[in-house]
Each structure stands twice: as structure tokens, then as C-alpha cells.
Amino acid sequence: MNKTFSLIGTGKIGWALSGLLTDRGWKIVTVHDASEQKVKHYQNHFAPFFLDKNQFLSPTCLFICIKDDNFQELLTEISSNPIWKASHIIHTSGFHNARILKPLQKSFYAEIHSFHPMISVIDTDPEKGKVLLQKAWWALSGDNPEWMKAWADALLLKNFFLPDEKKDFYHAAAVMTANLIIGVLRGAETIASKADISPESYQKIFLPLVDSVVEHIHTVGLQSALGGPIVRKDYALLEREKEALKQAGLVDEYAMYDLLSNYLIQKIQNTE
């Protein structure tokens, strides 16, 4: 494989992915970002890995690492520019499926793919970012599953094939796992404030509980990790606490508590 790539988008994912690829001997053909300052910073950092201009060639891969709402504008902009021609055009969005790249497939006769790392990259330091990418499972969608798996395996990345038409369910699960769980914790923080526990104290007191639950899930699995009043079938306690939330005027927190406790009760009853 010709280990060359171009990149559009020098944010957290693009930066971390570049660090991962250049560590494995890949060379950079060209880079673009809406911010010229970010491009210069990227070029300075990855300068040893750029191909000489006299060696210009169409890369094996074009990676598109941009915000989800910028895709249509970008695709219109680059579809007629041969500098972005590549054999494989890949985006890293968890939301969009590979089919969104169809205009580039037609323009450049390329195979199109979606490679999404199931991890939150929170730092643009390529050393930290690439470590996170190496920990992640990668969802591979689009053309030529064999080529996609060979690419990921060569980089020692854990991977699985995700049918393009299943992407909405995959992303919804990711949103619940990584984002909506924050909503639950924010609701718990609000409830704790009624016990005169400040937001700062909530994090110190309750986040170790979150850590212990996650550790327990790793040990026994999600299906067996639930404890507390729902497992004990102490429904009177649940009703008393829901009434306390209602009396305190915590309408949203009451609704969340009621919905999730009933959901888990139903899940347990279905397995008995």
C-alpha cells in the first residue's frame, strides 16, 4: 500500500489521526483547514512527514475530519478540485454514513468509507490523542470491507464492520453512552443540592461512586451490574423518593427518575 494521505480538518481527530499514521510511516501530501493559522501550526508540527512538492502524487487516502454540519458545503467546494483526488476517501464522523461522500466518489472514481473511533478525543496533543485512538474500537462502513479491515489491522486498531444503513442506531447508542449519561449526572447533581451538597462537593463525593459502577460493569458485565433498590424490589423506597422530588418542585428530575427506574424494573422483570 502507498502509505500517503491528505487531510481536511486539523481539529482534535485530524491531529491525533495524523500522529498515529505518521508514527507508522505514512507521509502527508497536503492539508486544509478553514483556519490558516491552524494549517500553519499543523505544517510546522508535522513538517518532517510532508512529501516534497516535487514528489506530489495522489494519495492513497483522503481523510475528512470536520464538524458534522460542515459536510455539504465542503463537498461542493472540493468535488471539482483534483488536488483532493485519492483512491480512498474517508470521513471520521460518527453521525454521517459513508454515502454522504457519493459526490466525491463520482468526481474522483474513489472508494468511500466512514472510519469512526468510539472514543472521546479531548486534546489536540498528538501524543495523547493517538493513544486514545489506539484504545478505541473503530466502526468501519462503506465500500470494500476487506480493504478497510486490512487498513485498521495494519495500524493495530480494534475494528468492526458497521453496515452503512445502521449508522443512526450506532450513533444514537453512542450519544446515550457518552452524552445523555451526563444529563443523568447533572440531574443527580441538582437533586443533591436539595441535601445542601454543592456542585463541587457532588463531584468529589459522587464521582467515585460512578467510577466503582463502571469498574463493576467491566468485571461482571452490564446485565449483572445493577444493584440497589431496583434489584431488591424496594419499590416503596422508589415511590417515597419520587414523591420527595415532586414536592421539591424538581419536575424534570422527577420525570427522569420515574422513567429510568420504571425502565430498569421492566428490564429485570423481562429476564426473570
Q: Are 205 and 140 in the same domain?
A: no
Contact between 39 and 32 under an 8 Å Cβ cutoff? The reply is: yes
Tell me how far apart the alpha carbons of residues 226 and 154 are, in angstroms, rounded to a whole number.
38
Domain that holds residue 258: 170-271
pLDDT at 272: 74
Q: Are 8 and 136 in the same domain?
A: yes
Q: Are 201 and 155 in the same domain?
A: no
Q: What is the dihedral of CA 43, 147, 98, 162, to 10 degrees?
A: -120
Q: Are 96 and 130 in the same domain?
A: yes
Q: Are 144 and 23 in the same domain?
A: yes
Global model pTM greater than 0.85:
yes
Record the cell numbers describing residue 12, joined without a space. 482534535
The residue out of 106, 132, 162 marking a domain boundary is 162
pLDDT at 84: 93
pLDDT at 123: 63
Q: Are strands 111-117 and 137-142 parallel, antiparallel or unpaired?
A: antiparallel
27 CB contacts (<8 Å, ≥6 apart)?
A: 3, 4, 5, 49, 50, 51
Q: Kindly report the CATH number assigned to the domain that includes residue 253.
A: 1.10.1040.20
Q: Are 184 and 239 in the same domain?
A: yes
pLDDT in tens, the chain (272 residues): 789 999 999 999 999 999 999 999 999 999 999 999 999 999 999 999 999 876 667 899 999 999 999 999 999 999 989 899 999 999 999 999 999 999 999 999 999 999 999 998 876 566 788 899 999 999 999 999 999 999 999 999 999 999 999 999 999 999 999 999 999 999 999 999 999 999 999 999 999 999 999 999 999 999 899 989 999 999 999 999 999 999 999 999 999 999 999 999 999 888 87
Q: Are 66 and 124 in the same domain?
A: yes
pLDDT at 52: 83
pLDDT at 121: 80
The residue out of 119, 138, 162 marking a domain boundary is 162
Q: Are 112 and 13 in the same domain?
A: yes
Q: Are 208 and 246 in the same domain?
A: yes
Number of domains into which the chain is organized: 2
pLDDT at 258: 97
Give 101-104's long-range contacts (Cβ < 8 A, gap of 24+). 101/64, 101/75, 101/142, 103/75, 103/76, 103/79, 104/62, 104/75, 104/78, 104/79
The residue out of 144, 162, 180 marking a domain boundary is 162
Q: Are 11 and 141 in the same domain?
A: yes
Q: Are 149 and 210 in the same domain?
A: no
Q: Are 156 and 178 in the same domain?
A: no
DSSP structure class, residue 46? T
pLDDT at 124: 58
pLDDT at 9: 96
Q: Kindly report the CATH number assigned to the domain that includes residue 132.
A: 3.40.50.720
